[in-house]
Amino acid sequence: MALSVDYRERGLIEALASVPHTVQTLPVGDLVCVYEEGNTWIAERKRADDLAKSIKTGRWRDQLDRLHATGSRRIFFLVEGDLRSTSMGHESLLGACVNAELRKGSHVIRTMDLEETAAVVRHLVEKGGSCPGLPSSLTPPVAKRKRDADRETCWLRQLMCIPSISERIARKLLDEFGTLPAIQKALAEGGMKKVRIDDRTCLGKARIEKLTYYLAHENSEGQLLRSLGEPSLSPLDCRRPGGQHVPIKQHTAGPRDNGEFNMICSLCGCCV
Q: What is the pTM of this model?
A: 0.48
Which value, in Å, is the radius of gyration of the alpha carbons in the chain? 22
* CATH of residue 29: 3.40.50.10130
pLDDT for residue 196: 78
- Residue 172: closest CA among 50, 52, 58: 58
Same-domain pairing of 6 and 126? yes
End residue of a domain, out of 130, 159, 194: 130
Average pLDDT along the chain: 76
**Residue 145: inside a domain, yes or no?**
no
Distance (Å, rounded) from C-alpha 140 to C-alpha 41? 10
Residue 223 is given by DSSP the state P
End residue of a domain, out of 72, 96, 130: 130
pLDDT at 233 over 90: no
Average pLDDT over residues 211-240: 54
**Residue 218: inside a domain, yes or no?**
yes
Distance (Å, rounded) from C-alpha 179 to C-alpha 217? 18
CB atoms within 10 A of CB 249: 10
Q: What angle do CA 86, 92, 95 make, to 5 degrees?
A: 125
- Domain carrying residue 80: 2-130
Same-domain pairing of 126 and 160? no
Distance (Å, rounded) from C-alpha 17 to C-alpha 158? 45
Residue 224 is given by DSSP the state B
Distance (Å, rounded) from C-alpha 28 to C-alpha 212? 37
Same-domain pairing of 119 and 190? no
What digits encode the pLDDT tens for the residues 41-98?
A: 999 999 999 898 888 888 888 888 888 888 788 899 999 999 888 888 888 888 888 9
Amino acid identity of 2? Answer: A
Average pLDDT over residues 209-228: 63
**Residue 141: inside a domain, yes or no?**
no
